Chain A
Amino acid sequence: MEILKPVFYLLVFPGFLFLGVLGLFFMWVDRKVTALIQSRMGPPWYQCYADIGKLLYKQVIIPAGSNRLSFVAAPLIGLAGISLAGGIIWMVNINKGVSFIGDLIVVMYLLVLPSLALIIGGAASRNPFSSVGASREMTMVFAYELPFILVVLTTIIRSKSIIFGEIITYQIQNGAMAASVSGIIAVIVFFVCMLAKLCYLPFDIPEAESEIIGGTLAEYSGALLAIFKLTNAIMLLILPLFLITLFLGGIDVSSIKGILFLTLKYLVILILVILVKSTHPRLRIDQAFKFFLGPITGLAIISVILTILGV
């Protein structure tokens, strides 16, 4: 039975099923708020679930002459990676002090898998738009990964550990990581990198519906597209939670107050994401590249220096 426990964690709670259902709910929040900003009605609450259901029912089209193995496996790799990362982030917060599967570095690497999935899928699609999408996605990873790594390092510098439990304990004892000058800068940088990881405006360059018809996703349809959408929904849930875990004192689900606080923190981040997303136009890939390796990396370096100085 012991072996079944982690399987349950992964598949039902707090993994796959839980993350998917909740993620799709927040996806709806995203769509609704965006609609309100744009003076539209917005979809009903079940719209995202209905979308997934509809996609599952639709036929799957595979581009002629593409490599089927990579084309079908790509979305699954992304989903598997993000589910595992999500499971780890939840578990270390629920059972404080008990490590599950891996540490901070493991999660950092697992978070690359959804991007990798997009790239493999795009490359395997045999479609020029998809290859452009894959190339852009990888360029974006190149651009945002350095500042992202740097700001995550600030938490390691403070807590002197790569174990989640110790990072959370450090925050319980010494206050949240964000409660300092360096912490605030780190959160800002993390936030911007998160937008890029989520592929949200102004960094939705790899998908860019209006110029490269969805990039990687151009050739995907039916169930495979549903898996990509689900991965995106889970990322929308997990990345802010990762931010909360690292910088905003972690998650406390042991009391009603804790859950309320968590919801509040999460919603604030989500609303900010939506606000930025719906008020900014898309950048060009070279602009985004320079933006990340220029000012954003600069901010990240300042944050690291301040952290070392203890500010």
Chain B
Amino acid sequence: MNILALFLVIIPLVSAPLTWLFKSGLREWFSVAVTLCILLQLVFLFPAVIETPLHYDLFHITDNIVITVNLDLLSIVIITLISFSGFLATLYSTRYMTEARSLRKYYSLLLLFIGSMNGTVLAGDLFSMFVLWEAMTVAAFFLVIFDNAVESIKAGIKYFVMSEMGALFMLVAIVAVYLREGTADMTTLAARRITVTSTFSHMLLIFFLLGTGVKAGIIPVHTWLPDAHPAAPSPISALLSGVMIKVGIYMMIRIFCQIFSTAISWEFILCALGSASIIIGVMMAIKQIDAKRLLAYHSVSQIGYIVLGIGTGASIGIAGGFFHVLNHALFKGLLFLSMGAVIHRIGSRNLSDYGGLARTMPITFITCSIAALSISGIPPFNGFVSKWMIYQGLVQRFTMDGSPFIVVWLAAAMFGSALTLASFVKLIYATFLTVPEKPHGVKEVSAPMWIPMVIMAGLCITFGVLAWQIPLKFFVLPVVPGVSFSGYWQPGLATLLLIIAFVAGGVIFVVGRLKKVVVSTPFVGGEEFEPEMGISPDGFYSTIKNTQVFKAIYHQAEKKRFDIYDLVKNIGINICEVLSSIHTGVLSRYIVWVLAGVAILVLLISYARF
């Protein structure tokens, strides 16, 4: 069993270079086989881990620094998620990535990416976790810049720089934890539960928050996400958004819920960041017309729900947040794959170029609609259940300490849900329902592409309708103990009744002489009907965009006034400009600087001595 756990990382990492040996055609299926192989291992590992979590030392570097493997319930659920999404994304890639050059590079990077994500979650100590975390960043970086376009490289560098900044903060925090506690083993640390009292430990938590927050895409360090997601190939976007940002959330759960026992003030910070992410993310998404950028902003928004759930500190809120991790991986992965299918066929990411695809790509239309309803939290789909649990967490917190801020978080979360619906209505309208300027002669994507989409759509429904019987029972409630529900929701019965009501309505329709259906051109008051009479995706929310307050904010956002990356970059450039004015090229001035520097050093040294 111990070895089997290690194989989760070893198999993809070893297979990654092996893909170079295969011819094209074989290579794709080799990668699919590898990912399937990992998934099959989990079938054996999962029941075993549920009985007894795995935890053992791999080898000792020094007495205190030990590389450990830790496979408890939390990690195995996340690993299942990664492997499952990885498998589907690889299967999808076999048809999606046909035109790109250097496919060898693609598949080896993909396996490396999946392997390093599995490793990050499998690692039992902070040091090996950090090494694999960085491997994940590097693999993701090369996948983002895979098509070598200028835009992609810019996005990739932005992602890399932001991730590395976060990672450096986290490294400092990890070393500090190790020096203070004498161990980096997460299980040992979790048993101790470091209490946050001193300024020092608050600093540590801030550093950890920065490190995990950049990866997870929390406001205000989310700005790499809307650039990197559109740049990457669609299956990679699905993995980035579906699972990689969840690895950030996984570390956040480890640190904030297990290793540190956080104070109320930290719950406040997490809730505030979560709510801000929800609203700002979705408000930015509403105005996008780049399909993948729109989805990327929704990732920011949905991560907000997860962070909010964790921030409630109530068991049901944390469980809801964790459940939302699974759900988000499903519906956001599905959205990226569905829109990927559209992009694959149309060859553009701009919503204005789509239209009327519901007839030509019916499978994509239905899977995309299911995902859109799920992410908007429409009952009985899966997104509703996890959001509902997060709301309960907030209500329970409110009952306990009556903090008025919780009302703000609750209102933000519920309002965010309506805004999400608004944004996806536009997406569905523009892509599938509106009249295209000229008809697209496209057909549905091939089976290896739609099979993953259908599987994910099926799971979106299953996780919603059978929420109590499957996901909550096996994946969520075992991980988060002590959950007490204060709401009431019977998804199975509700679905049954919705279907019955739907059928009853259908009966009315049939009674109303179905045979008499007549097809006729749309009525536009006697004018000649032309496609451009409709509303363009850009104009769908013109009222919102033209309202003064929003207009001003959007205007500033377009100028990147809220982008921390650009802000820091501009500050850096300004400082450099000031410093560069010193470099006059006059030798005598340089000598003065050198002498002044020596004088300062001498002063410092002599001060230190006495």
Contacts and interface: CB of A to CB of B under 8 A. Distances in A.
Given A61-B518, A128-B534, A105 B421 contact: no
Contacts of B411: 146, 149-150, 153, 304
Given A160-B395, A223-B511, A304-B407, A110 B434 contact: no
A246 interface: no
B96 to A, nearest CB: 25
Interface stretch (A81-89, A196-204, A262-270): A81-89
A6 B381 CA distance: 20
Interface stretch (B104-112, B302-310, B492-500): B492-500
A218 B359 contact: no
Contacts of A285: 543
Contacts of B377: 109
Interface string B396-416: 001100101001001100110
Contacts, number: 254
Interface stretch (B179-187, B220-228, B241-249, B384-392): B384-392
Interface stretch (B19-27, B483-491, B562-570): B483-491
Interface string A142-183: 100110011001001100111100000000000000000000
Contact of B544 (A84, A153, A289): A289
Contacts of A227: 505, 508-509
Given A101-B494, A123-B428, A160-B398, A289 B547 contact: yes
Interface string A54-79: 01111111111111011010011101
Interface string B488-531: 11100110111111101110110111101111111111000000
Contacts of A302: none
Contacts of A134: 425, 429
A106 B523 CA distance: 37
Given A81-B498, A135-B541, A138-B425, A146 B434 contact: no
Contact of A62 (B379, B391, B517): B517
B435 interface: yes
B511 to A, nearest CB: 6
Contacts of B356: 65, 67
Contacts of B146: none
Contacts of B428: 120, 123
Nearest to A82: B501
B540 interface: yes
B395 A59 contact: no
A161 to B, nearest CB: 7
A163 B487 contact: yes
A241 interface: no
Interface in B425-463: 425-426, 428-429, 432-435
B135 interface: no
A59 B518 CA distance: 7
Contact of A142 (B362, B539, B544): B544
A162 B544 contact: no
A129 interface: yes
Contacts of B521: 63-64
Interface stretch (A111-119, A185-193, A248-256): A111-119
Given A10-B497, A84-B501, A139-B543, A65 B435 contact: yes
Nearest to B501: A80
A222 interface: yes
Contact of A59 (B365, B402, B517): B517
B224 to A, nearest CB: 28
Nearest to A223: B512
A51 interface: no
A219 to B, nearest CB: 6
Interface of A: 6-7, 10-11, 15-16, 55-67, 69-70, 72, 75-77, 79-81, 83-84, 87, 99, 101-103, 105-106, 108-110, 112-113, 116, 119-120, 123-132, 134-136, 138-139, 141-142, 145-146, 149-150, 153, 156-157, 160-163, 213, 218-219, 222-224, 226-227, 230, 285-286, 289-290, 293, 304-305, 308
16 contacts: A10-B500, A16-B504, A64-B522, A67-B358, A76-B506, A101-B497, A106-B379, A112-B421, A128-B522, A138-B421, A138-B422, A142-B419, A156-B395, A160-B398, A222-B516, A224-B509
The 6 closest A-B pairs by CB, nearest first: A223-B512, A80-B501, A59-B516, A128-B533, A127-B522, A67-B358
